[in-house]
A = this chain, B = another copy of it.
Amino acid sequence: MKIGELARATDTKVETIRYYEGAGLLAPPPRTGGNYRSYGSDELSRLSFIRRARDLGFSLDEVRELLTLADDRDQPCGAVDAVASSHLATIERKIADLAQMRDELARVIGSCRLGKVGDCKIIQTLEPMRGAARG
């Protein structure tokens, strides 16, 4: 399998595959006589794993860790759970931060009466000190 086929099979760009190789997520595959990368089904599985993990928002570091953990099939899976749970906590924190942004932004936008810039509540929220501490 050439890199383009692997790319199509996993919905990944060719450059991204080469990038994963450089980043140590995919081992350098054997090459053909013409120096083309040659992949088998193992690499297809591994890249699918990576892509699914990325879709769930795991960082490349976390993916690397999950891949390593996944190889010791007889180990307890507590470490896997730890990575996933800590990532879930990160996502929840991000959502909370964004929700706060959204609420404040919606409030500010809602208070705009579409008049002049000088009277716009959006602008006034951003520069609450104009005319105040001016020396």
Chain A interface (Cβ within 8 Å of chain B)?
Answer: 40-41, 44-45, 48-49, 52-53, 55-57, 66, 69-70, 72-78, 80-81, 84-85, 87-88, 91-92, 94-95, 98-99, 101-102, 104-106, 108-109, 112, 114-120, 122-123, 125-127, 129-130, 133-135
**Copies of the protein in its oligomer:** 2
State whether A77 touches B115 (Cβ < 8 A).
yes
- CB neighbours of A57 from chain B (8 A): 98, 101, 105
State whether A78 touches B41 (Cβ < 8 A).
no
State whether A48 touches B101 (Cβ < 8 A).
no
Given that A41-B135, A95-B102, A102-B95 are known contacts, is A117 also in contact with B70, CB under 8 Å in the complex?
A: yes
